[in-house]
Homo-oligomer: A and B are copies of this chain.
Amino acid sequence: MTATSDPAERLALVLAEGGLQRMTARVLAALLFTEQETMTAGEIAEALTISSGSVSTALKSLTGIGLIERVPAPGSRREHFRIREGAWATLMSNQNAVVTVMRDAAEQGIAATGPDSPAGRRLAEMRDFYDYLWREMPALIERWRADRAGSR
């Protein structure tokens, strides 16, 4: 286990634990910690010493999730990328997809076992909890967005 002292690499490690591919996490961290406004794929590959293929895959993935965006770069043939405004809220919202899946899984389980069996009761507790989150989480994030927009 390489003990990384570089803050960017350390963050990448955490993001990787959280489910991102390792290289994808490193690319995101690089974009977060760079002193430039944007980076090109080539710059990222060089900075991290990884193959252009890996960078390409990572950028595709991050763009898909909505964490970064392609920036039109006048006068250059290269694609420029940067982290999007509100990326972290987006990341959180995506993770909330899990909440939906959990709730639905519980619901289907209840449908399959009936509500009055031991399994049904356990599943109902699960369903109620995720249903609660499903109702409350969007509001929580919305409040963040509103607060931030207001105070800027």
Please list the residues of chain A having a beta carbon within 8 angstroms of any beta carbon in chain B: 7-8, 10-11, 14, 17-19, 32-37, 83, 85, 88-89, 92, 98, 101-102, 105-106, 108-109, 112-113, 117-119, 122-123, 125-126, 128-130, 132-133, 136-137, 140, 144, 147-148
Contacts and interface: CB of A to CB of B under 8 A. Distances in A.
A92 to B, nearest CB: 7
Contacts of A147: 132
Given A18-B98, A105-B7, A118 B35 contact: yes
Contact of A129 (B14, B89, B123): B89
A125 to B, nearest CB: 7
Given A7-B105, A32-B109, A140-B140, 5 more contacts: A7-B108, A11-B109, A32-B119, A32-B122, A32-B126
